[in-house]
């Protein structure tokens, strides 16, 4: 079963508009973390935002916010006022306890965002 599901392989958004990238997750660990990363065409992975499973409020980092709906197990990324430089691949990831006593991070398949001028 997929642990992290990103159902949108590709998305288009007009410059200056907001866009929501979907992410649902599956875990039995009561303590987990959710992350979004951006990967531009240059290939580096850039951390965007983090949400802890016990955090009461949705995380925000500048133009990025995470719409955390715990009961639905969703952690959608909202990018406000899209810019051309936002065109990239976006990965949702979850950290949960590993069965070997540590932690592991699982990534979704990603959503490619195209921002149109």
Partner 1 sequence: GAGVSQSPSNKVTEKGKDVELRCDPISGHTALYWYRQSLGQGLEFLIYFQGNSAPDKSGLPSDRFSAERTGGSVSTLTIQRTQQEDSAVYLCASSNRLAGRGDTQYFGPGTRLTVL
Comparison of 15 and 61: residue with beta carbon closer to partner 1: 61
Please choose, from the candidates 98, 66, 61, 80, the residue with its C-alpha nearest in 3D space to the C-alpha of residue 17. Answer: 80
Question: Residue 110 and residue 8: Cα distance in Å, rounded?
Answer: 8
Question: Residue 14 and residue 81: Cα distance in Å, rounded?
Answer: 9
Contact 8, 21 (CB under 8 A): yes
Comparison of 9 and 85: residue with beta carbon closer to partner 1: 9
Query: 16-75: which residues touch partner 1 (CB under 8 A)?
Result: 33, 35, 37, 43-47, 50, 52
Query: 81-110: which residues touch partner 1 (CB under 8 A)?
Result: 91, 93, 95, 98-110
Residues making contact with partner 1 (CB under 8 A): 33, 35, 37, 43-47, 50, 52, 91, 93, 95, 98-110
């Amino acid at each position: 079963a997929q642990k992290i599901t990103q159902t949108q392989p590709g998305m288009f958004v007009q410059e200056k508009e907001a866009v929501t990238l979907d992410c649902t997750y599956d875990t039995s660990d009561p303590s987990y973390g959710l992350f979004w990363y951006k990967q531009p065409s240059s290939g580096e992975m850039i951390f965007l935002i983090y949400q802890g499973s016990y955090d009461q409020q949705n995380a925000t980092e500048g133009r990025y916010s995470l719409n955390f709906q715990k009961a639905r197990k969703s952690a959608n990324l909202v990018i406000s006022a899209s810019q051309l430089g936002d065109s990239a691949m976006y990965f949702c990831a979850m950290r949960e306890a590993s069965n070997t006593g540590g932690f592991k991070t699982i990534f979704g398949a990603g959503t490619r965002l195209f921002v149109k001028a």
